[in-house]
């Protein structure tokens, strides 16, 4: 009997467990562009174009390799993955599907309830299985990433020497917090001219997703493994050496700084996470990059990336509905490109719109920080992040947003909320110099909204955080402020929130 082998849009890896379990000479690979996947959030047009192009090229690669591939283009067939499987089963006389577990509970459930036998195999493109993560987490009162990361270093042997961390330290983060540089001597990610496959997809996306937030023009992403590898090699040579130093910096006129722009390729399966880490380790071993850059980058991949996936699957399907701080405000229009006087928000949203990309600190300390301080409903924040970034899939996006950024999981991931006044953004960027607001002003009409909302947030959530040992100092500072200043901050913070509620720009 013929088996169907399901390959989803973010499973474009030769080593995929479903492909490994299949028989090239007898089974049929099913790949489908379907409205349900393209529409569960209003994905950025560049994200859809990237994924459909990469899917089409991967299907061709499989068929060149001898597989029979049943590929449905958007609009050609069914609207859901389950529907596509049922239709293909009919066409090929199959009664069983071999799949690799999807990265989202929604789709896992859809496959579980699809009226055909679907065997969901573990996604072993990750270092830690669900069982490994559960075993690590068991019995721990706090699940801090740093300790999980050390386990992953030992397991992979990356940057290990005689069982000890290279250089004598596990973590070189203290060297990775330099402010924005005056000059960036890296020209950014490698750009690829759309080929015929990509051009066809671009026309489809322009036709079908014109109303989605995001620009489609100037599409430059790699869309196959060979291109992604070329981009990786280029970045390792030119960008990685200063990645660590300026990892947290933000610049008005440089969107990518020294970042890898590899998340979208790894998450879709075009690059293997270990392959990427090994390339970085090799550059460090060759003396081409400093230890803080190599360790800092490898920690993001085998530490943070694996850790957030572990949390997503351990916490269960209700994770995205968590709202520990009971925030209910609607997501303001500025997130969809509406007017704002805040330079940092404008820059981050503008670049998100054009590139489907913003780096970690922009996501965490600009748009994430503002949403948390303003008390935005975390479910809406989550859907925004899932829609607008080319690397966003729920298993990775939700823990970062619901957990790390919005503290909506009650502290599973973060030991304290990632909130800051304008001072942090000022220190790490050159945004404030051209902002309508004044970052040094704490109150008054020109005061930076982050300054007002920071104290407003701490004040209104006193019950939740005043006993947190990492926040005691801040409450002590607030308590020492004179009553008149505190009243002004609360009144002016209320006024900003009222403007957001009225749909007025802030």
Residues of the shown chain interacting with ligand SF4 in the complex, contacts defined by CB under 6 A: 342-344, 422, 425-426, 431-432, 435, 437, 439, 448-450
- In DSSP notation, 280-323 reads HHHHHHTTSS-HHHHHHHHIIIIIIIHHHHHHHHHH-TTGGG--
Q: Quick one: which of 22, 45, 83, 102 contacts ligand DLZ (CB under 6 A)? A: 102
296 vs 399 by CB, closer to ligand DLZ: 399
- Share of the chain residues as helix, strand and coil, in percent rounded to the nearest 5: 50, 10, 40
For position 428 contacting ligand FAD by CB under 6 A, the verdict is: no
**How many beta carbons lie within 10 A of that of residue 187, not counting itself?**
12
- Which of the choices ligand DLZ, ligand SF4, ligand FAD, none does residue 38 contact, using the CB cut-off of 5 to 8 A by kind? ligand DLZ
Binding piece for ligand DLZ, criterion CB under 6 A, among 43-51, 174-182, 257-265, 449-457? 43-51
For position 107 contacting ligand DLZ by CB under 6 A, the verdict is: yes
The four Cα atoms 234, 56, 100, 135 give a dihedral, to 10 degrees, of 20
Q: Quick one: which of 18, 48, 289, 439 contacts ligand DLZ (CB under 6 A)? A: 48
The four Cα atoms 181, 182, 185, 187 give a dihedral, to 10 degrees, of 90
Which 378-397 positions form the footprint of ligand FAD (CB under 6 A)?
A: 385, 389, 391-392, 396-397
For position 228 contacting ligand FAD by CB under 6 A, the verdict is: no
The answer to whether residues 294 and 280 touch, using CB atoms and an 8 Å cutoff, is yes
Closest CA to 406 of 292, 315, 323, 488: 323
410-440 b/e (C-beta count within 10 Å ≥ 16 → b): ebbbbeebebbbbebbbebbbbbeebebebe
Binding piece for ligand FAD, criterion CB under 6 A, among 74-82, 116-124, 297-305, 490-498? 297-305
SS3 251: strand
- Which of the choices ligand DLZ, ligand FAD, ligand SF4, none does residue 104 contact, using the CB cut-off of 5 to 8 A by kind? ligand DLZ
For position 492 contacting ligand DLZ by CB under 6 A, the verdict is: no
Would you give the end-to-end CA distance of the chain in angstroms? Answer: 62
- The token pair that represents 52 in the structure block: 């459909």
Cβ of residue 333: shortest distance to ligand SF4, in angstroms? 16
Binding piece for ligand DLZ, criterion CB under 6 A, among 2-10, 221-229, 403-411, 417-425? 2-10
Spatial CB neighbours of 416, under 8 Å, sequence gap ≥ 6: 407, 465, 468, 470, 471
Which 67-96 positions form the footprint of ligand DLZ (CB under 6 A)?
A: 81
For position 366 contacting ligand FAD by CB under 6 A, the verdict is: no
- Which of the choices ligand SF4, ligand FAD, ligand DLZ, none does residue 400 contact, using the CB cut-off of 5 to 8 A by kind? ligand FAD
- Which of the choices ligand FAD, ligand DLZ, ligand SF4, none does residue 448 contact, using the CB cut-off of 5 to 8 A by kind? ligand SF4
Name the strand (E) or helix (H) holding 31: strand 28-32
For position 269 contacting ligand DLZ by CB under 6 A, the verdict is: no
27 vs 104 by CB, closer to ligand DLZ: 104
Name the strand (E) or helix (H) holding 149: helix 145-156
222 vs 448 by CB, closer to ligand SF4: 448
CA–CA separation, 97 and 83 (whole Å) = 13
Angle between helix axes 145-156 and 130-137 (nearest 10 degrees) is 130
Q: Quick one: which of 48, 216, 301, 471 contacts ligand FAD (CB under 6 A)? A: 301
Binding residues for ligand DLZ, per CB under 6 A?
8-10, 32-34, 37-38, 43, 48, 51, 81, 102-104, 107, 393-394
């Amino acid at each position: 009997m013929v088996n169907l082998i399901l390959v989803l849009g973010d499973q474009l890896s030769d080593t995929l467990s479903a492909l490994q379990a299949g028989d090239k000479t007898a089974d049929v690979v099913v790949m489908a562009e379907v409205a349900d996947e393209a529409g569960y959030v209003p994905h950025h047009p560049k994200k859809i174009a990237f994924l459909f192009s990469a899917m089409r090229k991967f299907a061709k690669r499989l068929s060149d390799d001898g597989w029979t591939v049943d590929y449905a283009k958007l609009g050609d067939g069914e609207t859901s993955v389950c529907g596509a499987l049922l239709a293909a089963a009919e066409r090929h006389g199959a009664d069983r599907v071999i799949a690799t577990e999807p990265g989202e509970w929604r789709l896992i459930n859809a496959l579980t309830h699809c009226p055909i036998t679907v065997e969901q195999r573990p996604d072993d493109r990750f270092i830690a299985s669900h069982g490994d993560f559960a075993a690590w987490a068991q019995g721990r009162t706090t699940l801090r990433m740093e300790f999980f990361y050390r386990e992953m270093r030992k397991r992979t042997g990356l940057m290990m020497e005689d069982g000890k961390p290279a250089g004598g330290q596990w973590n070189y983060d203290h060297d990775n917090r330099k402010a924005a540089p005056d000059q960036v001597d890296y020209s950014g990610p490698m750009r690829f001219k759309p080929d015929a496959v990509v051009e066809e997809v671009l026309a489809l996306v322009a036709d079908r997703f014109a109303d989605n937030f995001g620009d489609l023009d100037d599409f430059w992403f790699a869309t196959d493994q060979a291109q992604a590898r070329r981009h990786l090699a280029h970045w390792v040579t030119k960008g990685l050496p200063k990645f660590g130093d300026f990892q947290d910096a933000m610049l008005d006129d440089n969107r990518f700084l020294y970042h890898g722009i590899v998340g979208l390729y790894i998450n879709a399966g075009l690059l293997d996470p270990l392959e990427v880490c090994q390339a970085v380790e090799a550059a460090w071993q060759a003396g081409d990059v400093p230890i803080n850059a190599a360790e800092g980058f490898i920690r993001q991949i085998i530490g943070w990336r694996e850790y957030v996936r572990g949390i997503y699957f351990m916490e269960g399907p209700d994770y995205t509905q968590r709202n520990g701080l009971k925030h209910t405000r609607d997501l303001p229009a500025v997130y969809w490109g509406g007017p704002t006087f805040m330079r940092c928000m404008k820059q981050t949203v503008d670049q998100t719109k054009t590139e489907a990309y913003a780096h970690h600190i922009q996501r965490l300390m600009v748009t994430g920080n503002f949403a948390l301080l303003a008390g935005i409903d975390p479910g809406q924040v989550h859907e925004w992040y899932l829609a607008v970034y080319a690397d966003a899939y729920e298993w990775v996006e939700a823990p970062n947003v619901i957990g790390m950024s919005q503290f909506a999981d009650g502290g599973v991931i973060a030991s304290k909320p990632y909130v800051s006044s304008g001072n942090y953004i000022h220190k790490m960027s050159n945004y404030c110099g051209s902002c309508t607001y004044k970052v040094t002003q704490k109150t008054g009409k020109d005061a930076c909204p982050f300054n007002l909302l920071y104290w407003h947030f701490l004040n209104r959530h006193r019950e939740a955080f005043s006993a947190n040992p990492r926040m005691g100092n801040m409450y002590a500072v607030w308590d020492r402020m004179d009553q008149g200043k505190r009243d002004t901050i609360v009144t002016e913070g209320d006024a900003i929130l009222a403007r957001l509620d009225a749909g007025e720009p802030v």
